[in-house]
Amino acid sequence: MKFSLAWANVANQNISLKIALGAVSLTAIALAGGLSVAALKEPLIIDRGCSSKAIAATSQVRTEQEVTAFLKEALSQRFDTSASDVGYLSDQEAHFRQDEQKKLKSSGLTQAISTANLKINQTPNAESKDKISIDTDRVISVGDVRSAFRFPLTLRTIAVNRTAANPYGLILDQVDIAKVDISKK
């Protein structure tokens, strides 16, 4: 083989390798750009259940409406005799609920709390350790006889991560029955 023919083959291979390197470099740059765009998008969250659907990611900041809706559900879970455990109560409040329901059951009483006209006496702020004052109605019944009472409460919530079981990201940490001033109307 002649030297000039061998040098021509090497030159052709160099050109082919340069073209292949350029194509691979352009592909890598395009893939890196596409990956960057995909990584910067908001995540797609799929709610798995009987039917799958995409849901929007929510912020950790809770609105007053969310806190009010949470309080209605959590107070119902805490005081209603027929309520099921959803996981909105702290361990201490769940224990208090069990003890209270045992006493009511032994007396033949049932209890419900009316949160239909829930009056919050101060703006709820779930991230603070401030107590929230609310006015509710407590309904105690024996058979068909029902009695309703004013039931003012002071409560404290704790912020936790939002989950499918607790979409509010709140837990009812402490519930105290407020003292009623009879002299006021």
Task: Specify the pLDDT at position 126.
Answer: 45
H helices present in 59-127, as ranges:
64-79, 91-107
How many Cα neighbours within 13 Å face the side chain of 61?
1
Angle at 46 between CA 43 and CA 47, to 5 degrees: 135
Task: Specify the pLDDT at position 172.
Answer: 87
Would you say residue 115 lies in a domain? yes
Task: Specify the pLDDT at position 58.
Answer: 61
**Gap between the Cα atoms of 166 and 62, Å rounded:** 13
Task: Specify the pLDDT at position 50.
Answer: 65
**Gap between the Cα atoms of 136 and 47, Å rounded:** 34
Would you say residue 139 lies in a domain? yes
The two tokens of residue 38 are: 């995909």
Would you say residue 117 lies in a domain? yes
Would you say residue 79 lies in a domain? yes
Per DSSP, 183 falls in state T
Would you say residue 33 lies in a domain? no
The two tokens of residue 41 are: 């998008």
How many structural domains comprise the chain?
1
Nearest Cα neighbor of 126 from 100, 158, 153 is: 158
**Gap between the Cα atoms of 131 and 175, Å rounded:** 9
3-state helix, strand, coil in the chain (%, to 5): 40, 30, 35
Asked if 110 and 140 touch (Cβ cutoff 8 Å), the reply is yes
Would you say residue 47 lies in a domain? no
The two tokens of residue 89 are: 């109560």
Q: What is the pLDDT along the chain (185 residues), one digit of tens a residue?
A: 688 888 899 999 999 999 999 999 999 999 999 999 999 988 877 666 666 555 555 666 777 788 888 888 888 888 888 887 778 888 898 899 899 889 988 988 999 888 766 766 555 454 555 678 888 888 899 888 888 888 888 888 888 888 778 888 888 888 888 776 655 54
Domain that includes residue 161, residue range: 64-177
Would you say residue 163 lies in a domain? yes
18 backbone dihedrals φ, ψ, rounded to 5°: -65, -40
| Residue 97, domain CATH | 3.10.450.230
Task: Specify the pLDDT at position 11.
Answer: 93
Would you say residue 28 lies in a domain? no
The two tokens of residue 15 are: 């050109």
